[in-house]
Amino acid sequence: MDIPIVILNFVISMVVSSIIIYVVTKLLNEDEGLGSAVLAALAGSLVYSLAYFFLGTGVLAAGIGGIAWLVVLGSIYEIGWLKALLIAFLVWFVVSVLSFLPTVMGPL
């Protein structure tokens, strides 16, 4: 595996994730800035990586990683479980739509 490409993919995914988290949290009237969104994206990546490392792939790792990310979101944005869940769902929805667009548009 080519290390520079892995690093570039990670940086691009962090930028995209951070922007999406920032926009979603702003739509839900949160006051924190882009730094909090970057922290949430990095923490989410770390939480899911640890869950998959220790538990392997599957529903259990995804579930525990998801719950841990809700805890992280709640602590970063100082919000409750339901709002953290709403943010996570909206982020997931936007990412799903954006990842689907290149396949709809076809080759450029």
> For residue range 20-60, what is the model confidence (pLDDT) as tens digits?
999 999 999 999 999 999 999 999 999 999 999 999 989 99
CA atoms within 13 Å, Cβ hemisphere of 69: 28
Domains of the chain: which residue ranges?
Answer: 31-90
User: The tokens 């939480």 sit on which residue?
Assistant: 47
The pTM of this model reads: 0.86
> For residue range 53-83, what is the model confidence (pLDDT) as tens digits?
999 989 999 999 999 999 999 999 999 999 9
| Structure token digits, residue 68 | 């841990």
Q: What are phi and psi of 56, to 5 degrees?
A: 80, -175
Answer for the pair 76, 43: CB distance below 8 angstroms, yes or no: yes
